[in-house]
Amino acid sequence: MPLRCTELPPHHARPEAMSTLRWPVEDLWERLEPQLPGLSVEVLAEVDSTNTRLLERARQGDTAACLLVAERQHAGRGRQGRAWQSAPGASLTFSLGLPLSPQRWGGLSLAVGVALAEALHPLLRIKWPNDLWTLDDHGAPAGKLGGILIETQGHASATRHVVVGVGLNIEAPPALPDPRHPVAWLRQLDPGLTAAEALTAAATALVGALKMFELRGFAAFARRFAARDLLRGRRVRTTKPELPEAQAEGVDEDGALLLRDAHGLHRLDSGEVSVRPC
């Protein structure tokens, strides 16, 4: 039987941190457990960070697959050590932790991005390496709708415990966004969509994509990524001092970003670089 917080609190959860809202826990478990035997699906009203929680469990030896949803995170984390702010009710925050042993790891965040974008809306695009963006009516980048944070535990063997964290804006954020960092939300694209529906679509696609990635790596996603690549063909700015501005030319077979400037073609691993459309 899976752990479900509506019935049984996970050992880390304070009883008051259990969710009272309705989430499709049973339905998700029935859909996903055949692909991830031993899976638990849990929903918490509040946690520090769903990624932090699943990594902690893995460090303590609990490496069973787990889909952990939080209605509120008080220490949500984004890429490059940034905080991830999300308003309860206006956003969906969840992580999937599982053991994974692909032959090559390159392009994993792009594969996850492809799965989420395809599952959620035809107009979603992936901004290398891990953001979901919308387009405006002219096909220009409009705003960031979601982010992906992938972390792993255990480097010694071919199998690592992977935690894929996903944060999606469902509704408009309560505070006006900084115009330098435009945001978007799913109800702009699909006004009737609920967080529970988005979770079902996103989590189902995510599990399928991770199983496919384990078998075939980024090769299975490369063409689908190209169809949703936000940056391809656009001028971009990067935080790499020697490459302030360039033209994006897609990604290579490991998911590294290809940028061209007057000095030639450059290859960027996701590492510590930020890239923005000009």
Single residue of 97, 106, 141, 167 touching ligand BTN by CB under 6 A: 167
Single residue of 141, 147, 217, 255 touching ligand BTN by CB under 6 A: 147
Q: Pick the stretch among 33-41, 159-167, 216-224, 240-248 that binds ligand BTN (CB under 6 A).
A: 159-167
Determine contact, residues 156/144, Cβ cutoff 8 Å.
Answer: no
Nearer to ligand BTN, 153 or 247 (CB): 153
User: Tokens representing 142?
Assistant: 């409009």
Pairing of strands 40-44, 66-70: parallel
Single residue of 40, 51, 134, 200 touching ligand BTN by CB under 6 A: 51
84 binds ligand BTN (CB under 6 A): yes
126 binds ligand BTN (CB under 6 A): no
Nearest to 209 by CA among 225, 198, 193, 194: 225
145 binds ligand BTN (CB under 6 A): no
Name residue 183's beta-bridge partners.
Answer: 144
Q: Pick the stretch among 75-83, 203-211, 232-240, 246-254 that binds ligand BTN (CB under 6 A).
A: 75-83
73 binds ligand BTN (CB under 6 A): yes
The residue behind tokens 């520090």 is 48
Single residue of 77, 121, 125, 160 touching ligand BTN by CB under 6 A: 77
Single residue of 2, 10, 24, 76 touching ligand BTN by CB under 6 A: 76
Single residue of 10, 78, 97, 141 touching ligand BTN by CB under 6 A: 78
105 binds ligand BTN (CB under 6 A): no
User: Tokens representing 101?
Assistant: 């042993």
User: Tokens representing 232?
Assistant: 């391809």
Amino acid at 47: V
How many Cβ atoms are within 10 Å of 199's Cβ, its own excluded?
Answer: 24
The residue behind tokens 């415990």 is 161
Task: Kindly state the number of chain residues that form the binding site for ligand BTN, as judged by CB under 6 A.
Answer: 21
What is the number of residues in the chain? 278
d(CA 50, CA 237): 31
Please state, in angstroms and as integers, the Cα–Cα distance from residue 107 to each residue in 56, 60, 97, 239, following that order. Answer: 25, 28, 18, 20
Q: Pick the stretch among 37-45, 70-78, 153-161, 169-177 that binds ligand BTN (CB under 6 A).
A: 70-78
Q: Which residue is nearest to ligand BTN (CB)?
A: 147
User: Tokens representing 81?
Assistant: 């050590």
Amino acid at 63: T
Interface ranges with ligand BTN (CB under 6 A): 49-51, 73, 76-79, 82, 84, 93-95, 130-131, 147-149, 165-167
